[in-house]
Amino acid sequence: MSTLHYKYRSTKNKGYLTARFQYRIDFGEKPKDIYFDALLEDKRFFVDKEYFCKTYKDPILREKEKNSKNLDKRKVASDLDAEENTIRNLVIDQFRAIENPETLTKEWFKDIISEYLHPGFKKKKYQVKIVENDLIAVLDHYKNYKSNLAPNTIKKMGVVKSKLERYESDLNIKLKLTDINTNFRDEFIKWSNEKQYASGTISRDLTFLRTICYYASNELDLEIYNKLERVNAKIEKIKNPFTDNRDNPEEILEAYLTPNEIEEIEKKNDLPEYLDNARDLFLIGYETGQRISDYLRFDKEMLKIIKGVTLINFIQKKTKKQMLLPLSSRVLRILEKRNGEFPRRISDQKFNDYIKLVCEEAKITETVLGVKRVKVLTDPKDEESGIWRGVPGYYPKFELIAGHTARRSFCTNHYGIWPTSDIMYFSGHSTEAMLLQYIKAKPIERAMQIFKNLK
């Protein structure tokens, strides 16, 4: 007997379904059930957890959905059911052609699923050879054959690859998978510190390398260090570099804009068109609490009016969460000013440059502690030897403002005033712990802000 069905194994509210193939073989005196799982990493199988567990898994409710008058519900249920039947028939047909089912492995099943989701996968997979467990070759394999990698993830992988190539060149070595151990961790941290990388960057690099190694072990059956979980680095908080005693422990490194500063930005008149456009984009980011990758792409097609309330409906680029947010009066004023249109889209780099100029025009020039990206000379005698790094220091505040400041300011200014659940609904954070990383106000500022709202 053999069968196939969907499973929902993600810990998130929305995620990809898993296909589970199960069959039974004679094993001595007792039959033995064998099952293989494969993640269905394709938008066709990205579903809401509650819908899947409460509706789709119930045969009666699923049939009602397939006959629903709501076309969206009918399509989701029908498509999922049709895909499940297609995959089941495909896998069972190939299973029946196997002479000895006891020889099957999870790779057999994963290959069938990967070929179904991405035709041509098998051909490409078996053309790739990983010579001597070469780490960078495995990284390339991961990038080329891992499904649904976000563009930013691919970009970061390129950065890590370049960094590993420089590391190999400096130490005159060729890294293998088994070299990623605690000795490598210590050497890599030392090398990264010499290159003046931030501790958070080093920690994320090591986390990514562990991911690559686990992929090599689980998907390619390659040997890795057996205590890989030890290859990590704790993120150390950057301390005030200008005092040993931390005379003012309330100083913060991540800049945010206070409600008064937001008002000063909004009231600023006579800005040239390109700065006016950037200012309005920033205010929309602040009012909605979204990432720059989302609010820079808002357009009027995302707008909905329900019971007289104007909302914006979109899917977050990073998390793939469906968002439906009411728009504030400030955002509505911006839309009215622009005849119902959102501000013109511009590149991230231009936006980050322009919003600094906007803040300077609004006189947000107080000198504060922060981290600014500056050119650091690797050779004091050679001005061309510089590398760009985030350097803690005291700078005019406008120089520290960027697109992401809008989201950080939203979370900081509303925390303790709005219910935490409402802030998380807007920001899309899954846990309060993640949200708290964005709260950057000093204790005295938080206390005074809350006091103003006490009745």
In a domain, 278, yes or no: yes
Q: How many CB atoms neighbour CB 169 within 10 A?
A: 9
Could you tell me if 37 and 106 are in contact, meaning their C-beta atoms sit under 8 angstroms apart?
yes
Residues 450, 350: one domain? yes
Residues 391, 301: one domain? yes
pLDDT at 19: 94
20 or 254, greater pLDDT: 20
421 or 254, greater pLDDT: 421
In a domain, 241, yes or no: no
pLDDT at 249: 45
In a domain, 239, yes or no: no
Q: Point out the domain boundary residue: 180, 209, 230.
A: 230
Residue 316: name the closest of 426, 193, 184 by CA: 426
Least confident of 261-270, 278-287, 325-334, 433-442: 433-442
In a domain, 422, yes or no: yes
In a domain, 247, yes or no: no
**4-49 tens-digit pLDDT:** 999 998 888 889 999 999 988 765 567 788 889 999 988 889 999 9
Burial of residue 346 (number of CB atoms within 10 Å: 0-12, 13-18, 19+): middle
- Helix/strand/coil for 375: strand
Q: Is it the case that residue 270 has pLDDT exceeding 60?
A: yes
96 or 186, greater pLDDT: 186
> What is the band of 141 on the pLDDT scale with cuts at 50, 70, 90?
confident
> What is the band of 386 on the pLDDT scale with cuts at 50, 70, 90?
low
Residues 86, 191: one domain? no
Residue 153: name the closest of 41, 256, 47 by CA: 41
Number of domains in the chain: 3
Residues 287, 390: one domain? yes
pLDDT at 31: 76
Q: What is the 3-state secondary structure (H, E, C) of 263-308?
A: HHHHHCCCCCHHHHHHHHHHHHHHHHCCCHHHHCCCCHHHEEEECC
Residue 187: name the closest of 233, 227, 225 by CA: 233
Supply the angle between the helices 259-267 and 403-414 in degrees, to the nearest 10: 130
> What is the band of 89 on the pLDDT scale with cuts at 50, 70, 90?
confident
Residue 435 belongs to a domain with what CATH number?
Answer: 1.10.443.10
Q: What is the 3-state secondary structure (H, E, C) of 2-19?
A: EEEEEECCCCCCEEECEE
Residues 225, 301: one domain? no
Give the mean model confidence (pLDDT) for residues 409-418: 90
In a domain, 288, yes or no: yes
In a domain, 201, yes or no: yes
> What is the band of 194 on the pLDDT scale with cuts at 50, 70, 90?
confident
**The domain containing residue 275 runs over which residues?**
259-454
Q: Token digits for 279?
A: 């200012």
Q: Is it the case that residue 390 has pLDDT exceeding 50?
A: yes
> What is the band of 73 on the pLDDT scale with cuts at 50, 70, 90?
confident
CA distance 342 to 267: 19
Residues 295, 409: one domain? yes
**202-249 tens-digit pLDDT:** 888 999 999 999 988 888 888 899 888 888 876 555 444 433 333 444
pLDDT at 38: 92
Residues 365, 219: one domain? no
Average pLDDT of the chain, as a whole number: 84
Residues 204, 145: one domain? yes
272 or 384, greater pLDDT: 272
> What is the band of 1 on the pLDDT scale with cuts at 50, 70, 90?
low
Residues 404, 344: one domain? yes
Q: Token digits for 317?
A: 């680029």
pLDDT at 242: 38
**301-349 tens-digit pLDDT:** 999 999 999 999 998 888 778 899 999 999 999 999 999 999 999 998 8
Residues 312, 180: one domain? no
pLDDT at 391: 79
In a domain, 398, yes or no: yes
- Which helix (DSSP H) or strand (DSSP E) does residue 158 occupy? helix 151-171
118 or 47, greater pLDDT: 47
Residues 268, 411: one domain? yes
Residues 292, 424: one domain? yes
Q: Is it the case that residue 251 has pLDDT exceeding 90?
A: no
CA distance 386 to 153: 26
Query: Phi and psi of 390, rounded to 5°?
Result: -80, 120
